[in-house]
């Protein structure tokens, strides 16, 4: 895990190395490319680190911060391309630019929360009026009618409130709000169509199984809707759990949640 100390040490050393290259080989083209790259490297690494702390900003300030970071990453990456035009860019610089771009992409999930079922019993996902919920911020929810295992998220959201129907659940005793990364819940079915277990995995993973969380909106843009009639989906879930008793989901490596 990157820290301010290691980050500072890394680009301080890089600055010194770059200055040494130019002093030792003033006519070396690569030495000058490294020197000219240093401001962009520092910018890209600083952005990568700062976006990791985006939650410390108030919600209204985050979209502007992301826009500025996006622009700065684009400009610094283009400047690096110019510095190394006509020659192969060192892999380390490609990685730094890639890390900064990835930081911008995932910054939309800053401050993300899960709504998690607790206890020992299966829960039923309630009906949700997506039109009333709107498309502000970022939201993913399970299809109404889904049978939910205790411990897994039935929804996650950032920079918005929960739909009213889920807000009621959050204020009750059967659900808890937790901090966590954006995830998908995959339901494994056996050869006879019965539920064999759920896996909570990163959005980058593509394991086998039926995805249960429906992405509704991302950063204020609508991206998905429920596709199955609630009663039909509820009946399919009941059939999948007839004679099957998975007790808790499995969490993929690196997927953790913490108390809010």
pLDDT along the chain (260 residues), means of 10: 46 54 59 86 87 86 91 96 94 95 95 95 96 96 97 97 97 95 96 94 93 97 96 96 88 93
Res 2: pLDDT: 45
- Which residue, 86, 107, 128, sits at the end of a domain? 107
Q: Are residue 135 and residue 90 in the same domain, yes or no?
A: no
Q: Are residue 135 and residue 204 in the same domain, yes or no?
A: yes
- Strand segments, DSSP code E, in the chain are 113-117, 123-124, 138-142, 147-148, 153-158, 175-179, 183-189, 195-202, 210-211, 213-218, 221-222, 250-251, 258-259
Convert the pLDDT of each residue in 78-134 to its tens digit. Answer: 999 999 999 999 999 999 999 999 999 999 999 999 999 999 999 999 999 999 999
3-state secondary structure of 16: helix
How many C-beta atoms surround the C-beta of residue 191 within 10 A?
Answer: 6
Q: Are residue 152 and residue 210 in the same domain, yes or no?
A: yes
Q: Are residue 137 and residue 201 in the same domain, yes or no?
A: yes
Q: How large is the angle between the packed helices 29-51 and 4-24, nearest 10 degrees?
A: 170
Res 9: pLDDT: 56
Q: Are residue 89 and residue 156 in the same domain, yes or no?
A: no
Which residue range(s) make up the domain with 13? 4-107
Residue 174 φ then ψ, to 5°:
-95, 0
pTM summary value: 0.83
Domain count, the chain: 2
Calculate the alpha carbon distances from 250 to 65, 112, 121, 204 in Å: 35, 20, 16, 17
Q: Are residue 124 and residue 102 in the same domain, yes or no?
A: no
- Which residue, 107, 130, 162, sits at the end of a domain? 107
Res 170: pLDDT: 96
Buried b (16+ CB within 10 A) or exposed e, 62-90: bbebbeebbebbeebbebbeebbeeeeee
Q: Are residue 28 and residue 98 in the same domain, yes or no?
A: yes
Are the C-beta atoms of 197 and 188 separated by less than 8 Å?
yes
Q: Are residue 93 and residue 200 in the same domain, yes or no?
A: no
């Amino acid at each position: 895990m990157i820290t301010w100390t290691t980050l500072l040490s890394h680009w301080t050393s890089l600055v010194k190395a770059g200055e040494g290259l130019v002093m030792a080989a003033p006519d070396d083209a690569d030495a000058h490319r490294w020197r000219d790259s240093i401001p962009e490297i520092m910018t890209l690494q600083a952005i990568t680190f700062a976006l990791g702390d985006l939650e410390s900003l108030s919600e209204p300030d985050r979209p502007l911060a992301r826009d500025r970071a996006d622009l700065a990453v684009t400009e610094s990456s283009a400047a690096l391309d110019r510095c190394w035009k006509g020659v192969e860019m060192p892999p380390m610089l490609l990685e730094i630019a890639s890390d900064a771009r990835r930081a911008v992409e995932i910054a939309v999930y800053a401050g993300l929360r899960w709504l998690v079922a607790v206890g020992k019993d299966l829960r039923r996902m309630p009906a949700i009026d997506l039109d009333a919920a709107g498309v502000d911020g970022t939201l993913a929810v399970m299809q109404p009618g889904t049978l939910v295992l205790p411990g897994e998220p039935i929804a996650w959201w950032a920079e918005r409130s929960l739909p009213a129907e889920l807000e009621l659940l959050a204020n009750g005793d059967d659900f808890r709000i937790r901090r966590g990364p954006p995830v998908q819940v995959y339901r494994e079915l056996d050869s006879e169509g019965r539920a064999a277990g759920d896996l909570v995995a990163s959005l980058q993973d593509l394991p086998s199984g039926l995805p249960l969380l429906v992405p509704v909106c991302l950063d204020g843009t609508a991206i998905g809707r429920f596709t199955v009639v609630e009663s039909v989906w509820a009946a399919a879930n009941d059939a999948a759990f007839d004679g099957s008793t998975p007790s808790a989901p499995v969490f993929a490596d690196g997927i953790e949640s913490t108390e809010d």
